[in-house]
Amino acid sequence: MALGDEDLGGKGETPVSAVPVAGAPGGGQLQWGGRFGAGPDAVMQAINVSIGFDRKLWRQDIEGSRAHASMLGSQGIIAAADAQAIDAGLADIAAEIEAGKFEFADALEDIHTNIEVRLTQMLGDAARRLHTGRSRNDQVATDFRLWVRGALDGVLAQVKDLMLALAKRAAQHAESVMPGFTHLQTAQPVTFGHHLLAYVEMFSRDCGRLSDARARLNECPLGAAALAGTSFPIDRHMTAAALGFDKPTANSLDSVSDRDFALEYLSALSILAMHMSRFAEEIIIWCSSPYQLIALSDAFTTGSSIMPQKRNPDAAELTRAKTGRIFGALLGLLTVMKGLPMAYAKDMQEDKEPVFDATDAIFLCLAATAGMVRDMTVSVTRMQALAGSGFSTATDLADWLVRVLNMPFRDAHHVTGRIVALAEAKNLDLPGVSLADMQEIEPRITDQIFGVLTVEASVASRTSFGGTAPANVAAAAKKWLEILT
């Protein structure tokens, strides 16, 4: 049986009013106007209005409303003709917004009311039946989940594109030797491909976190109403399926008050941004004059207003800086949510802007980072020259003493340290120290030692699983390319 508009409640649990609002298109109404005798003060309207940012949710709001109307008609809660008219009207509104012909009104506060008022202008009473069995509390929770789910899918696609760019470069440079660092001091030689694949591993964990967040998000709050559910015989499983959710949320209070999905999304973005910031820092170092390991083209650098020779890696620097905005979004939303009792509170209006801003920032940083990976020119010769600096094959010398002379590693470490000190005193690199000088420190050393002191020999020897040996790197790059293409 078709029911009337008994459950046309507005924001929270208060009813829709017929009080006209100045400035609303077609004499629109404030959802909570019937509770008050006059319109809001200008300051109250300014702090309360959200249409300036939540208009981003228009697609999701229309999608959710169409699913809700279809369910209401299927359940006989509203007439089938009304459900069909609502669906057609919402499709027309979507077309208006797409074409830029929709008039958004601040007086109508948010995207939900803007769309509902326009639908009422078009359909009259049929439109007023749409809000049966729901509240703006579950409506906005559903819209926001749909938006974040779409953003997650977009971020995942871009992360995989960045991983692909890195894996391709790693395959090209599986044998290109570079200095490996700890404490930003030369430690042991590695290959450039191995270094790039370290970030592929990092970003793969980001994909896992994003995918996990999406899986936990994918429950539908629609039909939880204001906080307690509804007395109408709605089918929440039907609307959940129509909107691509795995199932409806299980508790009506939790449904409208939960923003864990947004917090988890921002947390995953923060770790992802941190990884990109670390890579950006390395790009900045590699591009600097003392290193000159890579160069970026004009596409990802800028010049100086006074120094004509400068080429500044600004894309990397801004990627590093935007990480702060993303961290701030997470901390801001955590702070908003930390003291809220059940169920909905208007504080939650502050949940969307940080998510929108962080999403814009992460998309830009991902595009810039992938672009820099594809753009960079790698100086293999310079990398190889620096790879042997700082006595980077000292560990190989110690390992030789252990392997060939059966020396305990701690003793080998001590002997190697003395040889390094001798080389430093004579301003030599390790391969430049004579056999006689080494034998003064450890008489059993033979000329075989020189076979392990080159950077090429060093990286070739690192064949343990996950090591930097070129064969390992080539195999790992191939594996990732097969996964990502």
What pLDDT is attached to residue 45? 81
Q: Given 183, 289, 305, 464, which residue is catalytic?
A: 183
What pLDDT is attached to residue 311? 80
* Residue count of the chain: 485
275 is catalytic: no
d(C-alpha 443, C-alpha 150), whole Å = 68
List CB contacts of 251: < 8 A, sequence separation 6 or more. none
d(C-alpha 148, C-alpha 261), whole Å = 8
Please list the alpha-helical segments (H only) found in 290-351: 314-337
What pLDDT is attached to residue 33? 52
User: Measured between alpha carbons, how far apart are the two ends of the chain, in Å?
Assistant: 53
What pLDDT is attached to residue 280? 98
Query: Distances from the Cα of 72 to the Cαs of 5, 78, 134, 189, 248, in angstroms?
Result: 12, 6, 11, 67, 16
Q: Which residues pair with 220 in a beta bridge?
A: 248
Question: What residue ranges of the chain have pLDDT lower than 50?
Answer: 1-28
What pLDDT is attached to residue 11? 40
List CB contacts of 113: < 8 A, sequence separation 6 or more. 10, 28, 30, 31
List CB contacts of 161: < 8 A, sequence separation 6 or more. 366, 370
Q: Given 288, 297, 304, 434, which residue is catalytic?
A: 304
SS3 state of residue 14: coil
| Closest of 467, 293, 443, 472 to residue 395, by C-alpha | 467
List CB contacts of 468: < 8 A, sequence separation 6 or more. 180, 189, 190, 191, 194, 459, 462
Check: CB of residue 133 under 8 Å from CB of residue 230: yes
> How many of the other CB atoms lie within 10 Å of CB of 247?
12
Q: Which DSSP letter does residue 38 get?
A: S
What pLDDT is attached to residue 111? 96
What pLDDT is attached to residue 304? 65
d(C-alpha 170, C-alpha 192), whole Å = 7
What the block records as the tokens of 202 is 């990092």
Q: Which residues pair with 294 in a beta bridge?
A: 378
Residue with token string 């977009």: 154
414 is catalytic: no
d(C-alpha 259, C-alpha 277), whole Å = 27
* Model confidence, pTM: 0.88
- Amino acid (one-letter) located at 386: L
CA angle 370, 372, 377 (to 5 degrees): 130
| Chain mean position to CA 403 | 46
> How many of the other CB atoms lie within 10 Å of CB of 98?
11
Q: Which DSSP letter does residue 430 get?
A: G
- Amino acid (one-letter) located at 468: T
* Strands (E) located in 271-352: 294-295
